[in-house]
Structure 1
Amino acid sequence: MFIDIAKIYVKSGKGGDGCVSFRREKYVPLGGPDGGDGGKGGDVVFEIDHNINTLINFKYNRKFLAENGENGGTSKCYGKDGKDVVIKVPEGTILIHSESGKVITDLSGENRRFVLLKGGKGGKGNCKFCTPTRQAPDFAEPGMPHDEMNLILELKLIADVGLIGFPNVGKSTLISKITNARPKIANYHFTTLHPNLGVVDYKGINGFVVADIPGIIEGAAKGIGIGLEFLRHIERTRVLVHILDVSGIERRDPIEDFKLINSELEEYSNDLINRPQIVVLNKSDMLYEGREKIQKIKKFLESLGFNDVFEISALTGEGLVDLVRKIKKLVDETPKVILNFEDDEMYIFEPKRFSYTISKEVNEFGDNYYLVTGSFVDRLLSTVNIYNFSSLRYFHKVLTNKGVIDELKSMGVQEGDMVRLNNFEFEFIG
């Protein structure tokens, strides 16, 4: 089964908590603090795997969780780091932030491995809080929290050549003749429901990859039919091979088909219409209207600058050698396509800061108080033992070092005013 869109949830590991411990041995009654640090949480990592070419692995497995770091131990033992979760994806996979719809990264080319979310840092044990004046700290630091994200994975195939055209023009027959691909072939529209990749190996001509793109119809760029689902797969192709059915069996006008397909390409992406394009007149062995029709089509194409137009029969193999040679030459002359995204299309990771805000509030009794909120507050309170004097001294020192005390003073706090951090309240002492 071919799947090129998937939605997943990823979460990095939380850092392990630091340990509160004191060395106690028979002849060492006052050995001091010996709590170790917590381990680092695991990262969320994406890697390219050349053995897969679809996102089918994400059809049922949609949650990827890295391990949490272990808590620190006694005797200054550090907790073990959590294992990373490594997610294998095919080359050409784009990571998209689900909520904003913006692109995070494109896993292709030199970008083989990408660390999406870092694990939380381990917290420090109580032995790290020793100072000459605080020799027996009975508090430790908690581990840093995890990160999480909802993602959309979108696969855009890596191929040198893309076969395009209306349904039932012979794309699948052609790729089955010149490559090792074996797509389903039948005489009805939309036989091909997903792209087929094949490596060319035809009468001594080899070395490039061809993608058979399911039939594009009028309105595909607006979401009509299944064309829109697969237009993304020709974005990376160096060369487009546009196949027209000239037999007349389908009672379609090849000239109008050519105009419509190119109109859809242009509407989907301006870059695609300028991609090198080879025009192929297929089913030339089944002409109902004679050579005059071929000449009319060629004259029209020449007026647009397409001088090399190939008449072939994909079924019998007529004309395939010259066609494949021309494709090979054009592929070698055309540089690889690198997808470029505008700045406003890219997702920007905000640096992780433990911030706070201070506001002046009024409680239910009409008394004023100062409210300090934010991620900094949550982290600080988790390290403090409010019933321990040395821990409270550390708490006050952190408030001073982080500028909270100075900001409170600038807002007019007076001695005796109430300051609240979440559910913890204290009277300000200047």
Structure 2
Amino acid sequence: MSQDLYELLGVPRDADADAIKKAYRRLARQLHPDVNPDPETQEKFKEVSHAYEVLSDPAKRASYDRGGDAFGGMGGGFGQGAGFSFTDIMDAFFGGGAGQAQGRGPRSRVRRGQDALIRLEIELAEAAFGVTRELKVDTAVVCETCKGDGAAAGSKPVTCETCHGAGEVAHVQRSFLGEIRTLRPCAACRGFGSVIPDPCRDCSGDGRVRSRRTLTVKIPAGVDSGTRVQLSGQGEVGPGGGPAGDLFVEIQVAPHPTFRRRGNDLHCTVTVPMTAAALGTQLTLPTLEADLAGEDSEIETEFALDVRAGTQSGTEQVLRGRGVPGLRTTGRGDLVVAIVVDTPTKLDERQEELLRELAELRGEESPTGAVGPQHKSVFGRLRDAFNPH
């Protein structure tokens, strides 16, 4: 078996570090004791590992090239040579490069900012038909003094002297397998690979400051409470002047004095006198659009509702297309009008006389309450309407 380290690895004497590493990885996969447990192969693996340990170190390789002893420092146990690293074996199998302290490298100071959320209360008509609002938001913005790099004027970040710009430092732990090297973020530069000796006074080196600004947000028609409108790139600017996150505007719809919303339908209740319900009438009701109409607006602000003669309390009339527009659909919901008949509670002498005369004419002066559903008196129907079973 040849004792020349270059021949052991199968590389020429002028091979560079990458060629030596690739040759070692190839042989380690073939000769590792977990793959070939026979004693001869294990011995070969030790020789190859030691050859790599010498030739991968520039100082040791130079000493060997000058005629130094190739195996003078090799011990009798696995992994107990002159500084052989267990992570070199892991590197050979998984390509991680941990044995050469090749980690993830320095992390960037520039990172994306966080998303922001604000809540905006609007009126029902604004939610139904859309509105444009100006908002004042308090978020992080790029520092105008340092333009985001965090350094004071006339200065700049410098390479960290502890990690030499790697952003990581190697920690070595010895075990029965040899040296186990792990990479950890450099504490001196917090993993950035550089430090800011003279931070910007306005942002303290963060590259961003908090500021209040005004944004214009367009609320689409059909939104409801809980709907979120996304404004891309209007959130918090990231550290180091990084790209901003998004701003989400969460809608809260204020209660309306007349209309109640259920999905895309509107509901309202109107009260009519008993005589109007019996004789029929026409009512004038406001539209939801009336809340947005100005003095010179051509928007329809009211409409006529026909109450048919004999309308009972609790009757609902559905007016198609007078509800709320759909958020992501065409068309509008309906307006549902519930009618409540108002029975008088106080009558003067003349009113009572006329009402009794009407009851006598209709044969309803002594209702029994035992009639069937098709022959109830007007008083019985009114009673049932206000006392539903």
TM-score, with length taken from structure 1: 0.19
TM-score, with length taken from structure 2: 0.21
